[in-house]
Amino acid sequence: MTTSSADWLRSQPTLVGTPPPLDLVALPDDPESLFLDWITAASESGVPEPLAMTLATIGADGIPDARTLIIKDVDGRGWAFASTRASRKREQLSAHPAAALNFWWQPVMRAVRVRGRVVEADAEESAADLAARAPSARAGIGPGEWVLWRVVAERVEFWQGAVDRRHTRIVYERSHESWTHRIVTAHNESPPNGEISA
C-alpha cells in the first residue's frame, strides 16, 4: 500500500552528484590514507562541511543512537572526535566502547563508513584539542571536562555511487596489525587486495 508521503519520497531526485575518477589499481595499503585523499578531494570540490559525520553509539537499552559532529583527526591510531564528559555519548561509550561513523559527500557521490572499538585519548591530548577550539566554543567547559576519543577501526568501507546504480565499494578490514582490502562492484567482488579493471 502506498501513501502520499511514500509517493512524495519516491519522486525526489537521488544520486544527482558527479563522482570523480576512481583509480582502483593504485589503492593505498591502509584506509586512513585513502580517507584523507577522499576528504581532501571533497573539500577541493566545494562539498559543504566535509568534516561533518554521523556518529552512532549504543544506548543502555541496546538501541543505536546517532548524531552529527566533526572529525578531529585521522591517523594510524584511529578516527578522532570529541565532546564533554557530561554528554550522552560519553555515557554510552563508557558502557559500550564501540561506534560507527558515516560520512556523506553528496556533490561527489561518495560515502565512507567506519566501525570499531573506541578508546579515550590521554588527558594531554584532550586538553590540547579543547585549547584549539575557538574561545567561544571553550566557554563553560572546565578542565578535564573535554574528552577526545578515537575509533580504532576494524572495517572501513568507501562507497562511490553511479547514476546507473553500478556503485563501487572498497572495503578495508583489519587483519592483526595490517589491512586487507577488496573491491565490490554491482557484479564483481575481488579477493582481498585483488584488483579489477575500472
Question: What would the pLDDT profile of 33-75 be if each residue is shown by its tens digit?
Answer: 999 999 999 999 999 999 999 999 999 999 999 999 999 999 9
Q: pLDDT band at residue 196, thresholds of 50, 70 and 90? A: very low
Distance CA 169, CA 162 (A): 11
Question: What would the pLDDT profile of 116-137 be if each residue is shown by its tens digit?
Answer: 999 999 999 999 999 999 999 9
* pTM confidence score: 0.90
pLDDT(190) > 70 = no
The percent helix, strand, coil of the chain (3-state, each to 5) is 25, 35, 40
Q: List C-alpha distances in Å: 146 to 34, 62, 78, 169.
A: 29, 25, 18, 35
Question: What would the pLDDT profile of 139-150 be if each residue is shown by its tens digit?
Answer: 999 889 999 999
CA within 13 Å, CB half, 190: 20
Helices (H), the chain: 4-11, 31-44, 88-95, 123-132, 135-138
